[in-house]
Each structure stands twice: as C-alpha cells, then as structure tokens.
Chains A and B, each alone.
Chain A
Amino acid sequence: MSSIERFANPTRFMRLQTTVQPWVWIITLALFGVGLFLGLTRAPADYQQGETVRIMYVHVPAAWSALMVYTVMAVASIIGIVFRHPLADIAAKAAAPIGAAFCFLALATGSLWGKPMWGTWWVWDARLTSMFVLLLLYLGYMAIWQAIDDPRRASRIAAIVAIVGFINVPIVKFSVDWWYSLHQPASVFRTDGPTIHPSILTPLLIMGLAYSFLFLALHLIAIRSEIGTRRIRQTELARTGALQ
C-alpha cells in the first residue's frame, strides 16, 4: 500500500491529527518565542533603515508562507485530480483561508514598511501587483467553494483555478529580477547564498519556520473540520432522504 493510499482514509488522518496536534502547537509557540526574542531584542537595527527593519520579521515570513500555502494548494489539487485522493481537495480547501490571511499580512505589513522607507504606501510595480493578484486568486478560489453547492463539482473547478493560478507563484518570486521594482531583490534564497548578516538572518529563518508550523497547526484543524462538515452534510442528506 502506497503512502498516498494509506493516508487516503480520513478516519486514519483524524487519528494521526489528534496525536500530532499538541506537538505541532508546542513547536509553533517555541519557534515564535525564540524568533520574536531574537528579532526584537538581539538583532541589530539596520544602518540605513533603523528600527523599521524589524518589520521584516513579520513581513517576509508572511510573504513566504503565502507562496508556500498556494503551492500546497496547487500540489493538493493535482493529487486530487490525478489520484482522486479523497483528502486532497479537502486539504486544498482548508489551506485557502490561511494562505489568504498570510497574503493579506504580507501586503499590509509591506505597505507599513513601504511608507517610511519608500515614501509611499503602495505602487503598482511587479512584486506588489503580483502579490495582490495572489490575494485575488485566494479569494477567487474560496468564492468558488462558496458558490457551488456540490462538493465534487466545486472541487474540480477550484482545483483547475488553483493549478492555473500557480503560474503566479514564480512570477511573484522572480518579479524583482524580471522587471524594475521599488522592492529589493531576493536576499535570502539566492543561488550564491544569502546576503544578510547572520544576526538578522537567523531570527528571520526562525520566524519563517514559526509561520510554517503555524500553518501546519491551523491546517490540520481546518482539515479535520472540513471532514466533519462533509460527514454532517452526508448524514443530513441521508436523513432527509435526499440520497434515495
């Protein structure tokens, strides 16, 4: 039995989730504690930006997470379409609001960082615009699930949107290299290594991990809720005789 088939059983997933959940929360809170401590008290202020550089510890992980969550949605959608894995579309649907929140935070904190550093809250340049498009993709994906009653039909249409919309993820990542932008170019994930001093890079990476674990913690609960919601729907339909 492949690992995909083994975890295709929602009941088995829920047993696993119950066991793993407390540990994921402990790791999440520990990472946030260490990351915030290092970022707010140990990392130095930037020689040009001063204390505003500390916005980076909430802005950059939010942006990374928004891209990561959309990638999770796209991969889950492909698995749902190709392998008919019963948890795949549930996982994609459950991830969307979390990714949308991260994306909104990346835009909001970026705007709060842009005003003192660039002198403007917003510009329609490639990085900011592609990130805004990512937020619209999240909202559109969630709107499809809300608008279509039949979960199987909704999952197919939403999966296609998630997969097609994935084209925006590399556009966000490479927008600062491909087009002129007020936004700075990549300084962590580069082929020639990070250009940030370890005293700033370490808390940033820890905060990135904290956001990833927060996503995992919330996603596991959201998947469980979605499985429960579908069980409720099936039970209520069976009770009213709608399945006969």
Chain B
Amino acid sequence: MDFSAPHMGFVISSYAITFVVLGALALWIFARARSVTRRLKQLDDEGARRRPTSGQVET
C-alpha cells in the first residue's frame, strides 16, 4: 500500500472508523454480558428463585 498516494486520508479514515465502531460494539456487548453474569450470580448467592408465569416458557 502506497501511503503517499492521493486520497489516503479517506482510506485511513475508513479503516479507523471501522476499528472504532466495531471495537466499541464489542466492548459494549462484553460489558453487558459481564454485568448480567454478575447480577445473576448475586441473585443466586442471595437464594432468589425464578418463577415463570403460567403459559410462559421459562427462559
């Protein structure tokens, strides 16, 4: 790749925005997963139990 070629700023910006958006998306999904796991463990430690409503499939 020739970094001195015309319009390289557009190429670099495209890869940068892709990296930032996909990185932020992954971080958000990881953070949410961690927060959910922590809360489930906390509820489990407290002995809380789930009870689905009638006719509702338990998830």
Contacts and interface: CB of A to CB of B under 8 A. Distances in A.
Given A50-B5, A232-B40, A232-B43, A243 B11 contact: no
B49 A109 contact: no
Interface residues of B, number: 37
A70 B40 CA distance: 30
B48 A225 contact: no
Given A54-B1, A218-B25, A234-B51, A225 B32 contact: yes
Interface string A88-113: 00100000011001001100110011
Nearest to A110: B14
Interface SS of A by simple majority: helix
B50 A231 contact: yes
19 contacts: A8-B57, A50-B5, A54-B1, A55-B14, A86-B59, A90-B59, A98-B29, A101-B21, A104-B21, A108-B21, A109-B14, A109-B17, A109-B18, A116-B6, A221-B29, A225-B29, A232-B40, A238-B48, A238-B51
Interface of B: 1-2, 5-8, 10-11, 13-15, 17-18, 21-22, 25-26, 28-30, 32-33, 36-37, 39-40, 43, 48-53, 56-59
